[in-house]
Amino acid sequence: MSKENSYSVIGKPRRRVDGADKVTGQTCFADDIMLPRMLHCKLLRSHVPHALIRSIDTRKAERHPGVKLVLTGRDFPNEYGILPVSQDEQPLCREKVRFVGDPVAAVIARDEFVAEEALELIRVEYEPLDTISDPVEALKQEPARLHDYSEEGNIHKRLSYEFGDVEESLANSAHVFEDIFFFEGNTHLPLEQHAAVGVPEAEGRVTLWSSTQCPHYVHRAVAKALDLPMAHVRVIATPNGGGFGGKTDPFNHEIVVARAALMLGRPIKICLNREEVFYCHRGRHPVLMKFRTGVDVNGALTAMHLQTLLDGGAYGSYGVASAFYTAVLQPVTYHLPRYAFDACRVFTNKPPCGPKRGHGTVQPRFGQEVQLDKIADRLKIDPAELRLNMVEKPGALTANYLKIGSIGLAECINRVTERSGWKDKYRKLPSGRGVGLACSSYLTGAGNSIYWNAMPHSGVQLKLDRSGRVTVFCGATEIGQGSDDVLVATVAEILGIDPLDIRCVTGDTDLTPVDLGSYSSRVTLMMGNAAIQAAERARDLIAQAAAQKFGADAEVIEFAGGRVFNTGRPEQEMPFQEAVVCAEEIYGSLGTTGSYTPAPPPGKYKGGGVGPSPAYSYTAAVVEVEIDTASGWITVPRVYIAHDLGRTMNPVLARGQVEGSVYMGLGEALMEESAFRRLPARLSGALVHREPSMLEYKSPTSTDMPEVITDLIEYPDDNGPFGAKEAGQGPLLPVIPALANAVYDAVGVRIDEVPITAEKILQALDSKARGGSGRVGPAKFPELEWPEPYRVPPPWEGGDGNAVNKPQRKRAAKMHDMDRFRKVTAS
Amino acid sequence: MMRLPRFHYYRPRDIREAALVLAGEENAMVIAGGTDLLPNMKRRQQTPRTLVALRHLDELKRVTNGSGLVIGAGVTLTDLVQDRGIKSAYRGLWQAAAQVATPHLRNMGTLGGNICLDTRCNYYDQNHEWRKAIDFCMKKDGAICWVSTGSKTCLATSSTDTAPALVSLGAEVELETAHGQRTIPLHELYRDDGIHYLTRSNEEILTRIILPDGAGTRSVYWKLRRRGSFDFPVLSVAAAIRFGAGGAVDEARIVLGAVASQPVLCDSASEFLNDRSLTDEVIEEAAALCARAAKPVKNTDFSPHWRKRAVARLAAYALQELRGDDMRATREKIARQAL
């Protein structure tokens, strides 16, 4: 029997380890925490989009009965932010507010109601500034600047890279396609609203419970923002009621309650309401994209030049990484001989954008896959054939130096086309019905931490004792994706015991080894590898002890079914618990550790750190649509999806991740948009989120969900635990372009922007009926001055991963140098 | 979460006592299911000093047969949907009630509450902080209508599902005060004014909905919204037709929802249908007349242009269903459920 079929836990459908607690209401979310003497916090948020703060008068609020403390920006010493290069947030705004929803004061009171009453009593005097509502405005030189550290005006960051002479390849290509796409911003919409509780501890230390995906990064930010030693701050991530990237930044409310707890010596709780969650945002960036793509006569890619323009909102957040991600993964799916990209992120007076499921890669994947559909259409090649002919090879090193491991994309394409009856449907269905295909790939964990360091990305500790119980400690965070289950299953597999005999302790910076957090689809791979190492070390100790007992060699000792055997003499066996007792007798108290650090990436050029991953997942999807041509009304009856996840850890959870991605993808494709409303300046000057509510921000309901036919494809990757790759983000990507392509198949119109609504389809149908283009989408990409690109020859053109030039970069301020930053903001 | 403001809560023994409290208290409002009022109070759109509860009053929960049907205003939408008699005799009403909000909200929400539903507008249905950011609007705390800054009246949209269906069925409503009661045709309860959208005085309690005998009348309700649940209508078509011998229309009544501050009676379309058989051509003509009556404004989901274009399509679906066409597949696509 091959090793891959012999797993006893891995790959078996199991009830998730935290399932019973969740369905019976036992799980303790952040809002469930109730402590003696606990007080409640509410934040006063700016109702103006961009203004200097002239004064804040809190005296009446302080005197309001039941109010214990009122804080303003002056109570906080330092800036913070998730990326070292964007330390641009303040727990409460000091000099300036940058969007409607930016917090300026906090009230801590007996209860939420009293705190809300007191907010009304705070008087803030604002001096309004010009307001920037979109990238076109941001690119103008005149308007007020949001941040002094931006590259130029309101341009936060520009990137420019060239991997081979793209212009030459385009000039020599059989065909060159130029297309412009727009992807509207949207948000995560987790059911659980963010909540946090700050608890004072003895000797000036503080504990923060929070619904965060990244306790380690919050730990760093709280310590920095409050000038506390990290050793005096403990962050505990509560199970998240959904994250999707919306809880990966450190947030102002977390720092505020930690500070207030220290000042008052009492626990302080804050629970955001839904509007406030929309203001925390960090959701999908609105991105305008321009693709210039060359193909040969068979439609195979020869070169691509991609330009992206990101509307970043009011703060940096992960934005520099987001900008990279709008470009770096294009070469991972199909072989791309030469590639160049330019990306620009601007600041606007809106809630900050950041990482949402598929971080930055979703928008260009939409553009690329729709453009491929256009190429196939023009060249009269079946879109599935077009793609199958150029699927990247396993083990390849891409033009931009991303090292790929296993690739199951061809099988994914074959599976969805077979299942959907693609050959009988594509271009063959009656008008109004259509099918569309698209593919994608995604990271299994970012190859680099958000701050530079050479330490492990994930650590796992095991404690074993005579009870037979194994406790596994890891800093990873359960956000509903099933990371606790992966952790337990991995240890159970190696030690041959029942998952129920394992307790896991996760996401607690005092108790658990550092794990960077639940983002970038990194947990299964990184935590899994660390857990394997810790569990194998424990297994080796126990095997030694058992071997001694049996009078055998440790090599012949096996673990299975909760027992420990001598494989040479099967009658020699004992329960796992007895074997642990033997080990404890010999070695004393038992504990092991494991850790995982990704290999350094092959790309050594500056910026080459974004994009590398230990493994890439692959997905293909076919979406069916039905469209009423009189109204544009669109219905999705079925979605076929196949996802190469390397190895299935637990098929129940993996399917949940894939189908949940389909659901979220459909929401983005069909209806979700973070739209803003700007009222006429002469009447109001308001710039507000159009619908910060669960009712009017449209996200599909269960009634809108189609039938989903899911296939899990296993192409194990050498870097993955048991070969596993990610499943939580990648499957979202192909759904959106596949739907757009299906619309074209159904009614012959191109909707080159997301969301694809009945209104836009009808508009395109009208245009087609009048003899127009039958297209709805952006008309042009603004003229932008790009910096000199880093020129990195691809591996097959003699490149070694280094840039061959040294472009000069303008720098307004180095953000990791905080003293300099403060001087800049003060000037 | 957003917190409710402070208020007094009365739990009267009967309607008469409720009416007395309502007449005697300053700034008092009635509350039945609370599914509309309580979120509005959290957003400070309404800040009554006193709430007078009706939900527990048995006399408001009765459904009684007479020459037609009398439905108590306190009957929940779930109870209404589970009433087989209503489903067969007043199908349009049943289809409307079955599409209100979500199952959970229908469990709490009442028919009377849905009839009196506050008009809606996406400049108004926002929390206090948001409305402060746009400097409020004339419906609450402000002076201007942001939908149309030149408008003298509020353009908030009538978003009730059951009212268009009930108006198409010729329903009357009974209003009771401490001093007496009056019965009026339901369409007279409404006014095309987003603020003063009801002709009901604040002292009046809507107690009963009276439907004429449904025998011989067929009715339907088609609702358009982005999703199959939760959403208020962006457009709805209620139609009721009594067919004469030979299949021609004896009497028709078509009512549009969510295109004005009140349900809109399409008299020209209704009259056009009289004595005609529902051929494809007749349906198309009547549907076009309906579209002319609709004047949606930009304050709901979807653009007013698209909503206006959709009227004829939805009206045609309604008439086709009344003709007896099998519309189940189309229903499934529009409503995301069988109705």
| Containing structural domain, residue B231 | 58-116+157-335
Is B4 domain-assigned?
A: no
CB A549 within 8 A of CB A574: yes
| Structure tokens belonging to residue A727 | 């499943």
Pairs of residues, one from chain A and one from chain B, whose beta carbons lie less than 8 Å apart: 89
Confidence class of residue A811 from pLDDT cuts 50, 70 and 90? Answer: low
User: Backbone phi, then psi, for A262, in 5-degree steps?
Assistant: -65, -40
Residue A821 has pLDDT above 80, yes or no: no
A696–B125 C-beta distance less than 8 A: yes
Interface test with A, best of B149, B226, B298 (most A CBs within 10 A): B226
B333–A626 C-beta distance less than 8 A: yes
Is B33 domain-assigned?
A: no
With vertex at residue A607, the alpha carbon angle to CA A603 and CA A611, rounded to the nearest 5 degrees, is 65
A698–B1 C-beta distance less than 8 A: no
Per-residue pLDDT at A810: 63
Is B197 domain-assigned?
A: yes
Least CB-CB distance to A47: which of B132, B146, B310?
B132
Per-residue pLDDT at A6: 84
Q: What type of residue is A473?
A: F
Summarize pLDDT for B159-204 with one digit per residue, the tens: 999 999 999 999 999 999 999 999 999 999 999 999 999 999 999 9
| Number of folded domains that form chain B | 1
CATH class of domain segment(s) A455-596? alpha beta
Per-residue pLDDT at A1: 34
Per-residue pLDDT at B67: 86
In angstroms, what separates the C-alpha of A629 from chain B's closest C-alpha? 11
Is B201 domain-assigned?
A: yes
- Which distant-in-sequence residues (6+ apart) come within 8 Å of B93 by Cβ? B80, B86, B162, B165, B166, B169, B211, B219, B221
Burial of A52 (0-12, 13-18, 19+ CB in 10 A): middle
Q: Running DSSP on this structure, what letter comes out for residue A75?
A: G
DSSP string covering A699-722 = ---GGG--EEEEEEE----TTSGG
Least CB-CB distance to B302: which of A49, A701, A759?
A759
A45–B228 C-beta distance less than 8 A: no
Per-residue pLDDT at A154: 97
User: Can you tell me the distance from the alpha carbon of B75 to that of B55, in angstroms, rounded to the nearest whole number?
Assistant: 9
With vertex at residue A377, the alpha carbon angle to CA A375 and CA A380, rounded to the nearest 5 degrees, is 105
CB A618 within 8 A of CB A407: yes
Residue B249 has pLDDT above 50, yes or no: yes
On whether any CB of chain B is under 8 Å from the CB of A264, the answer is: no
Burial of B47 (0-12, 13-18, 19+ CB in 10 A): middle
Residue B265: CATH number of its domain? 3.30.465.10
Least CB-CB distance to B129: which of A47, A49, A683?
A47
CB A478 within 8 A of CB A484: yes
Which residue in chain B is spatially nearest to A99 when comparing CA positions? B133
Residue A825 has pLDDT above 80, yes or no: no
A688–B134 C-beta distance less than 8 A: yes
Is B147 domain-assigned?
A: no
Residue A603 has pLDDT above 70, yes or no: yes
How far from the centroid of its chain's Cα atoms is residue A490's Cα? 23
Is B145 domain-assigned?
A: no
Of A321-325, A524-528, A566-570, A747-751, the poorest mean pLDDT is in A566-570
B303–A275 C-beta distance less than 8 A: no
Per-residue pLDDT at B216: 92
A686–B126 C-beta distance less than 8 A: no
User: Backbone phi, then psi, for B313, in 5-degree steps?
Assistant: -60, -50
Which residues in A lie closer than 8 A to residue B126 (C-beta atoms)? 692-693
User: Can you tell me the distance from the alpha carbon of A404 to that of A406, in angstroms, rounded to the nearest whole number?
Assistant: 7
Is B17 domain-assigned?
A: no
With vertex at residue A366, the alpha carbon angle to CA A363 and CA A371, rounded to the nearest 5 degrees, is 130
On whether any CB of chain B is under 8 Å from the CB of A351, the answer is: no
Question: Beta strands of A146-194 (E only): which ranges?
Answer: 155-163, 175-183
Cis peptide bond upstream of B296, omega within 30: no
DSSP string covering B187-255 = GGGB-S-SSS-B---TT-EEEEEEE---TTEEEEEEEE-SSSSSPPPSEEEEEEEEE-GGG-EEEEEEE
A696–B336 C-beta distance less than 8 A: no
Confidence class of residue A680 from pLDDT cuts 50, 70 and 90? Answer: confident
**Nearest Cα to A809, choosing from A292, A304, A172, A161?**
A161
Interface test with B, best of A123, A270, A272, A631 (most B CBs within 10 A): A631
Confidence class of residue A5 from pLDDT cuts 50, 70 and 90? Answer: low
Least CB-CB distance to A688: which of B133, B227, B231?
B133
Residue A815 has pLDDT above 50, yes or no: no
Residue B277 has pLDDT above 70, yes or no: yes
How far from the centroid of its chain's Cα atoms is residue A302's Cα? 30
- Domain residue extents for chain A: 33-129+190-243+247-280, 156-187+283-448+604-776, 455-596
Summarize pLDDT for A35-55 with one digit per residue, the tens: 999 999 999 999 999 999 999
A113–B130 C-beta distance less than 8 A: no
Q: What type of residue is B21?
A: V
Which residues in A lie closer than 8 A to residue B227 (C-beta atoms)? 671, 698, 700-701, 703-704
Confidence class of residue A3 from pLDDT cuts 50, 70 and 90? Answer: very low
On whether any CB of chain A is under 8 Å from the CB of B228, the answer is: yes
Q: Average pLDDT of chain A? A: 96
Does pTM surpass 0.90?
yes
CB A85 within 8 A of CB A79: no
Summarize pLDDT for A238-261 with one digit per residue, the tens: 999 999 999 999 999 999 999 999
Averaged pLDDT, A776-798: 97
Question: Beta strands of A495-615 (E only): which ranges?
Answer: 502-506, 557-560, 563-566, 573-575, 590-596
User: Can you tell me the distance from the alpha carbon of A753 to that of A676, in angstroms, rounded to the nearest whole number?
Assistant: 17
* Chain A stretch 461-500, residues whose beta carbon is closer than 8 A to a beta carbon of chain B: none
On whether any CB of chain A is under 8 Å from the CB of B295, the answer is: no
Which residues in B lie closer than 8 A to residue A702 (C-beta atoms)? 229
- CA dihedral (B96, B99, B103, B105) in degrees, to 10, reads -70
Least CB-CB distance to A686: which of B1, B135, B306?
B135
A692–B133 C-beta distance less than 8 A: no
End-to-end CA distance of chain B: 35
Percentage of chain A exceeding pLDDT 70? 97
Give the β-pairing of A338-346 and A301-311.
parallel
CATH superfamily of A33-129+190-243+247-280: Aldehyde oxidase/xanthine dehydrogenase, a/b hammerhead (3.90.1170.50)
B226–A698 C-beta distance less than 8 A: yes
B132–A683 C-beta distance less than 8 A: no
CB A237 within 8 A of CB A508: yes
Is B313 domain-assigned?
A: yes
Q: What is the CATH number of domain A156-187+283-448+604-776?
A: 3.30.365.10
Which residue in chain B is spatially nearest to A49 when comparing CA positions? B133
User: Can you tell me the distance from the alpha carbon of A459 to that of A444, in angstroms, rounded to the nearest whole number?
Assistant: 17
B127–A698 C-beta distance less than 8 A: no
* Chain B stretch 151-210, residues whose beta carbon is closer than 8 A to a beta carbon of chain A: none
Give the β-pairing of A175-183 and A753-754.
parallel
Q: Average pLDDT of chain B? A: 97
B134–A684 C-beta distance less than 8 A: yes
Residue A789 has pLDDT above 90, yes or no: yes
CB B176 within 8 A of CB B103: no
Summarize pLDDT for B281-302 with one digit per residue, the tens: 999 999 999 999 999 999 999 9
On whether any CB of chain B is under 8 Å from the CB of A808, the answer is: no
